[in-house]
Amino acid sequence: MEELNRVALIGIMIENKESVGKINDILHTYANYIIGRMGIPYQKRNISIISVAIDAPNDIINTISGKLGALDGVSSKTIYSKYSD
């Protein structure tokens, strides 16, 4: 049985700029699931904030969020829409 897609938003806080390349590699790997992304550099706090809207099976969303959150100086959280296929 094929897993249903979910719509989710992954919020990413970056406190270690050296992790940016790895973040982009992860997002590029799953680009076919990404609806859109927005990055905000917050210079006052020397952090970057990225929001990624995604439409994917739950296991893919969890994998992306887990890989991002495992990076040094990176935190990620996911919120899900109540809608699913």
State the CATH number of the domain containing residue 61. 3.30.70.1150
* Local confidence band at 35 (pLDDT 50, 70, 90 cut-offs): very high
| Domain count for the chain | 1
Strands (E), the chain: 5-14, 34-42, 47-57, 74-84
Q: What is the residue range of 67's domain?
A: 5-84
pTM of the model: 0.90
- CA distances 7 to 31, 34, 75, 81, 82, Å, are 14, 10, 20, 5, 8
What helix, strand, coil percent values describe the chain, rounded to 5? 35, 50, 20
What is the tens place of the pLDDT at every residue in 38-52? 999 999 999 999 999
